[in-house]
């Protein structure tokens, strides 16, 4: 696979290509809570804003293929199984103080039960499977571990890690997932390992997309809405 080429750009432009969509999405999730917009219009904006940011900032660094696509699909399904396993095997697991506290937050769903319409489910699933993997992998596997090794990160090849970059990225990725931090940490370790092994951002986007799609299907079928934070 030809790796995305970010070298011809200025450092600021290059950074925005990898960080911009993630930053816009994170900021939008905070801002839209205070906007006087009712669902499903708000959900449409939650899809439209990150999509526009990906197309604007990152279109020139997006990978065109996933050479290890079959293994990536299998790994994505395995990560989804790992994600739901603790709560299935150990009832009450998520109610432990390690997962419900002032630091990692309280477990709750971001969708009120009254708004769980078919359209909302389609929009949420599409965002989880198509948009989030792109903007998160650009940031978590495409930019952060390279920047931790050299602020002029374009000199660092995709998939190259130091021990500090590997573990710092995995820990921060786990903390991003709040009450699911322990499976988020394991997920970050697995994704980092797969990036190091394949050196393919396309495969990381694919494995992340499969994980999120499978988890979304599980949430809809089981009604375990708290997995959708």
pLDDT value for 6: 41
What is the count of structural domains for the chain?
A: 1
pLDDT value for 225: 87
**Residue 134 located in a structural domain:** yes
Per-residue tokens: 147: 């920047």
**Residue 93 located in a structural domain:** yes
Domain holding 104, by residue range, is: 66-227
Strand partners, 105: 101
**Residue 184 located in a structural domain:** yes
Query: Measured between alpha carbons, how far is residue 57 from residues 15, 61, 86, 92 in Å?
Result: 9, 9, 38, 42
Q: Is the pLDDT of residue 43 over 70?
A: yes
Q: Is the pLDDT of residue 226 over 90?
A: no
**Residue 47 located in a structural domain:** no
pLDDT band at 99 (very low <50, low <70, confident <90, very high): very high
Query: Measured between alpha carbons, how far is residue 181 from residues 32, 65, 112, 171, 227 in Å?
Result: 24, 30, 23, 9, 12
Question: Per-residue DSSP letters for 122-182?
Answer: HHHHHIIIIIHHHHHHIIIIIIHHHHHH-SSGGGSPTT---HHHHHHHHHHHHHHTGGGHH
**Residue 212 located in a structural domain:** yes
Taking the C-alpha atoms of residue 109 and residue 132, their distance in angstroms, rounded to an integer, is 17
Taking the C-alpha atoms of residue 29 and residue 47, their distance in angstroms, rounded to an integer, is 11
**Residue 24 located in a structural domain:** no
pTM (two decimals)? 0.91
Taking the C-alpha atoms of residue 42 and residue 19, their distance in angstroms, rounded to an integer, is 23
Q: Is the pLDDT of residue 39 over 90?
A: no
User: Which has more pLDDT, 63 or 5?
Assistant: 63
pLDDT value for 29: 83
pLDDT value for 12: 55
**Residue 54 located in a structural domain:** no
pLDDT value for 35: 75
Taking the C-alpha atoms of residue 191 and residue 197, their distance in angstroms, rounded to an integer, is 10
Q: Give the burial class of 116: count Cβ atoms within 10 A of its Cβ; 0-12 exposed, 13-18 middle, 19 or more buried.
A: middle
- Angle in degrees, CA 104, 108, 110, rounded to 5: 110
Asked whether 93 and 224 are in contact (CB, 8 A), the reply is no
**Residue 120 located in a structural domain:** yes
Average pLDDT over residues 144-168: 96
**DSSP letter assigned to residue 105:** B
Q: Model confidence over 15-31: pLDDT tens digits?
A: 999 999 999 999 988 88
pLDDT band at 110 (very low <50, low <70, confident <90, very high): low
Average pLDDT over the chain, rounded to whole?
90
In a 3-state reduction of DSSP, which class is residue 86? Answer: helix
Taking the C-alpha atoms of residue 128 and residue 134, their distance in angstroms, rounded to an integer, is 10
Mean pLDDT is lowest, of 4-8, 90-94, 180-184, for 4-8
Mean pLDDT is lowest, of 3-7, 69-73, 96-100, 174-178, for 3-7
pLDDT value for 73: 98
């Amino acid at each position: 696979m030809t790796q995305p080429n970010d070298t011809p750009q200025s450092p600021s432009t290059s950074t925005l290509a990898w960080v911009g969509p993630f930053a816009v999405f994170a900021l939008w999730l905070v801002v839209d809570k205070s906007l006087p917009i009712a669902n499903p219009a708000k959900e449409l904006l939650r899809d439209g804003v990150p999509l526009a940011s990906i197309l604007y900032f990152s279109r020139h660094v997006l990978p065109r293929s996933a050479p290890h696509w079959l293994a990536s699909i299998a790994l994505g399904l395995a990560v989804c199984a790992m994600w739901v396993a603790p709560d299935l095997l150990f009832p009450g697991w998520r109610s432990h103080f390690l997962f419900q506290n002032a630091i990692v937050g309280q477990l709750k769903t971001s969708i009120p039960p009254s708004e769980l319409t078919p359209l909302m489910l389609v929009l949420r699933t599409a965002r989880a499977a198509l948009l989030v993997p792109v903007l998160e992998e650009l940031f978590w596997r495409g930019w952060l571990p390279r920047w931790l090794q050299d602020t002029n990160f374009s000199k660092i090849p995709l998939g190259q890690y130091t021990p500090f970059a590997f573990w710092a990225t995995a820990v921060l990725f786990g903390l991003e997932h709040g009450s699911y931090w322990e499976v988020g940490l394991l997920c970050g370790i697995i994704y980092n390992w797969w990036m190091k092994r394949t050196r393919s951002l396309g495969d990381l986007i694919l494995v992340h997309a499969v994980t999120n799609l499978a988890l979304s299907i599980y949430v809809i079928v089981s009604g375990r809405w708290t997995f959708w934070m």
